[in-house]
Amino acid sequence: MDQPQHGGKRQGAGRKPKFGSGRATVVKRVPQDLVAAVDALIAAPRPQRLPADARLITPAANEALIPMALNKVPAGFPSPAEPYIADYLDFNQYLISNPTATFAVRAGGVSMLDAGIDVNDLLVIDRAKTPKHKDIVMADMGSEFTIKRLHQGPDLIELHAENEAEDYPVFRPGPEDVWHIVGVVTFVIKDVRHGKR
């Protein structure tokens, strides 16, 4: 004779997990005077979207402030130097908004020449930014990396070169291709003296 099924753990019963069913949780005792601070920390929004493998920046990185002039300087006619300093500029802060998700790479070709990217230009790439239509991106096309202009829409993903002097194809992923956007190019650093340091 079967025994009646009473008591014991019932599937689906109890408090529902707060952090998603796939994450284990533990119970910890917290000093009463810290409860409000811990609750605020848990409720706070994530500061930024970072890749899962984001890395710590080097502890050697520090400020390097240089004076920044108040006025713009015309490129076509020499202007007397203005003695006015508007502010100080730290390139670490100016070029990098997501330190743990930013890296630099040198451009290896001329397919983006009309976009101002030449061979050996230094590209600052932010992996935390969500790529948008017309962003210049670094893409992993499965077998190679490339820098191209992203064109995207509801049913469209294309990578376009920008160099009218050459004939470059428009890249479109096929059904079997596995592509992903590595990051968004945020700055192009050019050596205008071509290495004459």
DSSP-derived secondary structure for 26-76: ------GGGHHHHHHHHHSPPSS---TT--PPPTT----EEEEESS---SS
148 is catalytic: yes
Closest CA to 47 of 101, 113, 117: 101
Tell me, what's the pLDDT at 1? 47
Residues 194, 121: Cα–Cα separation, whole Å: 10
Give, in degrees to the nearest 5, the angle at Cα 135 between 187 and 57. Answer: 45
Burial of 63 (C-beta count, 10 Å sphere; 0-12/13-18/19+): exposed
Distance linking the first and last C-alpha atoms of the chain: 93
Tell me, what's the pLDDT at 61? 60
Provide the CB-side half-sphere exposure for 79 (13 A, CA): 10
Residues 137, 149: Cα–Cα separation, whole Å: 6
Residues 123, 50: Cα–Cα separation, whole Å: 19
Tell me, what's the pLDDT at 168? 94
Name the token pair of 12. Answer: 């689906």
Tell me, what's the pLDDT at 81? 56
φ, ψ for residue 42 (rounded to 5)? -70, -40
Which is catalytic among the residues 9, 21, 28, 111?
111
9 is catalytic: no
Closest CA to 125 of 137, 133, 114: 137
Which is catalytic among the residues 143, 148, 190, 196?
148
Q: What is the DSSP letter of 14?
A: S
Provide the CB-side half-sphere exposure for 70 (13 A, CA): 6
- What is the mean pLDDT of each successive set of 10 residues along the chain, which is 197 residues long? 58 61 73 81 65 65 69 62 71 89 92 95 94 95 92 92 95 90 95 72
